């Protein structure tokens, strides 16, 4: 990140979410100004401003093929932008339901029920199941084939805020750190070939993890649980050490580590297979809101209420770079698939691009 930084104005209210497209060519952001904006990564200039939401845009998500972006706002609407070949989209709500949509037909295919309070988050799309966490203190798993609920994972003493699957990165990114292939949509591969490549990445990561997908959940009760969401309801590990609520959890792209961010101003690292504590990363002076991994799993970036980003080395388990520059709290961070850029968005209404 020592190569420079730039500031991108445009939003009229705080930037709440920001995410690079899986191919690394585009950047999207959602804001309290009720808009979704698309930006050209190479020129760092605006491409489109999408209006229509009636309240703050709280979250955005790219389809793996980059042809669709979904955004959700505080009024309960989910909107789709740049429609293409992607078909399925899952959304969650305060009504306690998870809905699966046909994105092309804009039609609800299935309603996944069982939660008794607001659904706070969804895990990344797995081939065999869908997973959601709720303020009812449970995590629920449904079969992808027919929507039948497989199991309820219980044990947390308060709201479950965040989920992550060990295969998230293979499902949601087109970048292969081994070959350097970013998988641009401009390449000559057919859709079937791209799907086959994605399935191969998933299978490779699953094999390196012992053939079993793992799920981690973080809660307002200051704890995390590590689960095998397919096999049973008993957690593999209960992960303790944070002193305040947990905002964000992320498996590293190689699934060897888990990073957790908390209101206690720290980031903690855990073994991806066992949930065993590895290290605490300290340096932020206020709550840590979000973390993001580099594609090679060697670096981690964090964004905080203290208005800074910090880059941490996994080799030394220490702070590598301090990135001040925002004038207020940093709500969103993401790392580009090629590892060359970090984006951050915050209460100061700005997006910032940090280059290596």
CB-count exposure of residue 151 (10 Å: 0-12, 13-18, 19+): middle
> What are the residues whose beta carbons fall under 8 Å from the beta carbon of 135, sequence distance 6 or more?
117, 118, 120, 159, 160
Q: Tokens at residue 170, please?
A: 């293979």
User: What's the pTM?
Assistant: 0.87
Return the bridge partners of 282, or none. Answer: 266
- C-alpha pair distances (Å), 3 with each of 7, 268, 308, 339, 342: 14, 27, 17, 13, 11
CA distance 82 to 343: 21
Three-state DSSP class for 107? strand
Distance of CA 225 to the CA centre of its chain: 18
Question: What distances in angstroms separate CA 166 from CA 79, 124, 243, one per listed residue?
Answer: 28, 9, 25
pLDDT at 217: 96
Please identify every stretch of the chain with a pLDDT value under 70, giving residue numbers as ranges: 1-4, 83-87, 124-128, 170-192, 194-195, 198, 208-209
Residue pair 161/121 in contact by the 8 Å Cβ criterion: yes
CA dihedral 124→125→128→131, nearest 10 degrees, is 50
3-state SS, residue 182: coil
Single out the residue of 151, 336, 128 nearest to residue 227, CA to CA.
Answer: 151
């Amino acid at each position: 990140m020592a190569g420079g930084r730039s500031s991108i104005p445009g939003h009229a209210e705080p930037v709440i979410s920001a995410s690079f497209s899986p191919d690394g060519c585009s950047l999207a952001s959602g804001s309290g100004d009720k808009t979704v904006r698309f930006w050209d990564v190479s020129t760092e200039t605006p491409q489109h401003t999408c209006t229509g939401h009636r309240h703050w845009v709280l979250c955005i998500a790219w389809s793996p093929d980059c042809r669709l972006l979904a955004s959700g706002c505080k009024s309960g609407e989910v909107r789709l932008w740049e429609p293409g070949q992607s078909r399925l989209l899952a959304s969650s709500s305060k009504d306690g339901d998870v809905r699966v949509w046909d994105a092309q037909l804009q039609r609800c295919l299935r309603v996944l029920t069982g939660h008794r309070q607001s659904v706070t988050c969804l895990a990344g799309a797995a081939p065999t199941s869908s997973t959601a966490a709720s303020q009812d203190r449970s995590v629920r798993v449904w079969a992808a084939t027919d929507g039948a609920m497989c199991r309820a994972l219980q044990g947390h003493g308060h709201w479950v805020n965040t989920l992550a699957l060990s295969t998230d990165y293979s499902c949601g990114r087109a970048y292969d750190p081994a070959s350097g292939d970013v998988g641009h949509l401009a390449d000559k591969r057919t859709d079937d070939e791209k799907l086959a490549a994605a399935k191969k990445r998933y299978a490779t990561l699953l094999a390196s993890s012992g053939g079993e997908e793992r799920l981690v959940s973080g809660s307002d009760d200051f704890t995390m649980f590590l689960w095998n969401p397919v096999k049973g309801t008993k957690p593999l590990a209960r992960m303790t050490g944070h002193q305040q609520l947990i905002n964000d959890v992320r498996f590293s792209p190689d699934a060897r580590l888990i990073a957790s961010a908390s209101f206690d101003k720290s980031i903690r690292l855990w073994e991806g297979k066992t949930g065993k504590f590895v290290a605490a990363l300290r340096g932020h002076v206020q709550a840590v809101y979000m973390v993001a991994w580099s594609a090679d799993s060697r670096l981690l970036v964090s964004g905080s209420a203290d208005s800074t980003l910090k880059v941490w080395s996994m080799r030394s388990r220490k702070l590598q770079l301090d990135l001040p520059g925002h004038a207020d709290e940093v709500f969103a961070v993401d790392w580009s698939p090629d590892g060359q850029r970090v984006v951050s968005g915050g209460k100061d209404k700005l997006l910032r691009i940090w280059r290596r």
